[in-house]
Amino acid sequence: SPLKPSEFLAATMLLSIGKVVVVSCVTVMAALLFYSFNVFVLGLSLVPFLLNLIVTGWCIGVLTTGLIMRYGQEVEVLAWGLVFLFQPISCVFYPMNVLPPWLQTIAWINPAAHVFEGMRAVITTGTFPGAELAWASGLNAVYLSGLILWFHMMFSVCKDKGLLVRVGE
């Protein structure tokens, strides 16, 4: 394939940003129109947390894309199932402290849990939780770096074994 893994990942990430912008505009307008809810009153404090959610999505996307590229459509069910595995430990609907202690330990290494804990603090207390942002950003940096390296290895394996033609079936 003439396409380099870095070009593939960069294009995918840029496309995801475009999708986020379009969907966010529609969602913000719908919230304002149908519910008279102005998202912008929440302040700019939420922006770094939202950016971290995008990076967390990239991590999950790079992981699933690499798995599908390497193992084919058989693992596609895992890609869809990851959402249901991550949701309980992301603390979207409830604070982390309501989870059982063993699940809190797992949630602690999930950047999305720190993002939602931080967003919850901004909305309920009005304070900016720098520690939550630092944890989310640090975990995302480690995971994304590792997954990009892993993706390059998977791409190389697929190229050597002639598996790239299976992508996109």
pLDDT 10s digits, 6-52: 998 999 999 999 999 999 999 999 999 999 988 887 788 889 999 99
Calculate mean pLDDT across residues 139-156. Answer: 96
Q: What share of the chain is helix, strand, coil (3-state, %, to 5)?
A: 80, 0, 20
User: Per-residue pLDDT for 116 more than 90?
Assistant: yes
**CA 127 – CA 62 distance, rounded (Å):** 33
pLDDT tens-place string over residues 123-132: 899 889 999 9
Query: CA 119: distance to chain centroid?
Result: 15
pLDDT of residue 169: 46
pLDDT band at 166 (very low <50, low <70, confident <90, very high): low
User: Per-residue pLDDT for 133 more than 60?
Assistant: yes
Instruction: Output the CA torsion sign for 155, 66, 103, 117.
Output: positive
pLDDT tens-place string over residues 72-113: 888 888 888 888 888 999 999 999 999 999 999 999 999 999
pLDDT of residue 9: 92
pTM of the model: 0.87
Q: What is the mean pLDDT of the chain?
A: 90
CA torsion 11-13-16-22 (nearest 10°) is: -80
pLDDT of residue 100: 96
Joined tokens for residue 93: 């609907």
